[in-house]
A and B are shown apart, each in its own frame.
Chain A
Amino acid sequence: KQEVTQIPAALSVPEGENLVLNCSFTDSAIYNLQWFRQDPGKGLTSLLLIQSSQREQTSGRLNASLDKSSGRSTLYIAASQPGDSATYLCATRKLTQGGSEKLVFGKGTKLTVNP
């Protein structure tokens, strides 16, 4: 059974700092890994998706890496801004014969960027 862990649970940084959020998973047989952003009381916004054959994906100030063999992914945020304050969730998906399967989520890292 897949377990996804995110460390740290909470992180507070000053504006402008570069930071790294960590995600680890126990079953390396994943199809892809997706990073989401969740604002308080809101839905999940997809940030980046990394296929199992890829090592990293970039979107603007965000860079996500994947090391499947060690069961780890990181989300790097460059030049953080107060608007980046949110909870960041990592989720893995395992593909079965029937098609795309469920996502297994970590508990998230709550990021606060202070002006």
Chain B
Amino acid sequence: EPEVTQTPSHQVTQMGQEVILRCVPISNHLYFYWYRQILGQKVEFLVSFYNNEISEKSEIFDDQFSVERPDGSNFTLKIRSTKLEDSAMYFCASSDFVTPAAFFGQGTRLTVV
């Protein structure tokens, strides 16, 4: 069964460092998303991406965040200068028109120290 793949599963970084979280969405899906879940809190929407551009972003997704689809398979989330409050589980998801259910990856746990 096709699945969304995220790497790494866990990343520890120092405050102020840049991190790139990577995702391989399900092939032939058209919509890509990043969500995050701070420990004990709700899963929150960060950004959606369609047709090589951001279609929507939340207030969380400020100038420190960026997304990119550098080739036909990868979808990345970059945090330029990490803060302690960026520590969370980050989920990538993808969906398409035919079966609009969103499929999620296993997540990357980001720990900022």
Contact = CB atoms under 8 A, between A and B. Distances in A.
Contacts of B41: 107
Nearest to B102: A103
A89 to B, nearest CB: 7
Contact of B91 (A32, A34, A44, A101): A44
B55 A98 contact: yes
Interface of B: 30-31, 33, 35, 41-45, 48, 50, 55-56, 58, 89, 91, 93, 95, 97, 100-107, 109
Given A99-B97, A102-B48, A107-B42, 4 more contacts: A44-B43, A100-B102, A102-B45, A103-B102
- The list of the 7 closest CB pairs from A to B, nearest first, reads A43-B106, A102-B45, A44-B104, A105-B43, A49-B101, A43-B107, A100-B31
Interface residues of A, number: 26
- Chain B residues touching A, majority SS: strand
A49 B100 CA distance: 9
Nearest to A99: B50
B43 A93 contact: no
